Chains A and B, each alone.
Chain A
Amino acid sequence: MRRYRSPALCAAIVTVALLATACPSSSDLDRMANASNELAHDVLLANRVVAEFYTAGKMPLDAKDRIANKLGTIGDKGEKFNDSLIALDKKYPQGTLPPQDLQFVRDNLSELRQLYSSVLADLLPFKAQKAVGALNKDLSTIEKVVNP
């Protein structure tokens, strides 16, 4: 099981990206934009860390493939989420969203959270419980951005 210890550190590094989520800002849309940007950098960072572990022979091919595919799904949906925010930014330049649009954003973020949870489940066999716990906490912080 020793070879699985390093992927646990992988999860720790991934978690780092989620430690600081959205910065305090002046409007709904400002907070969501910051959250979206953090999510984008998180998924990129996670991809790079997994790539380094796989290249170093610390992660088996099947695990790499499974996590890479899930990260790809998160990236696709996260990009669409960001595109939606860009459209909302043009529609509501003052940054305050009506309830229906706010709910739309909340639903999207909730879906992204579920996908992240799926990635966490993949990391658990690598003895990454501590990191997973921290990541869950960070995801909760992200959700508070749109569920204050």
Chain B
Amino acid sequence: MNFSDIIAGLQQALPILAGLSGHPELGVLGQKLIGIAEAEIARRQQTTGKTRAEVLADAAATYAQFRAENDALKRAGHE
């Protein structure tokens, strides 16, 4: 699968990513962003059928992960 195939697939699911196709200069960064978007698509496809308690537990775990990554982002450039 080449870059264009990935973009085409993402455009079907996430139209707002269409702008990426006009910016091939993004290179490695563009690929990373696409990877993030693909992971998000996969997550959403797995969310159906969860109980309310499971959904809330998922959110709690996500916030815990966010805290760790946000702390790292805040430290970046200041170490």
Chain A residues within CB distance 8 Å of chain B: 5-6, 8-10, 12-13, 15-17, 19-20, 23, 27, 29-30, 33-34, 36-37, 39-41, 43-45, 47-56, 58, 61, 64-65, 68-69, 71-72, 75, 78-79, 82-83, 85-86, 89, 95, 131, 134
Contacts and interface: CB of A to CB of B under 8 A. Distances in A.
Interface in B35-79: 36-37, 40, 43-44, 47-48, 52-53, 55-56, 58-60, 62-63, 65-67, 69-70, 72-74, 76-77
A41 B62 contact: yes
B1 interface: no
Interface of A is mostly: helix
Contact of B66 (A15, A64, A75, A134): A75
Nearest to B60: A82
Contacts, number: 130
Nearest to B18: A12
Interface residues of B, number: 37
Contact of A49 (B26, B36, B65): B36
B7 interface: no
A44 to B, nearest CB: 4
A52 B32 contact: yes
B33 A13 contact: yes
Given A79-B60, A131-B16, A45 B74 contact: no
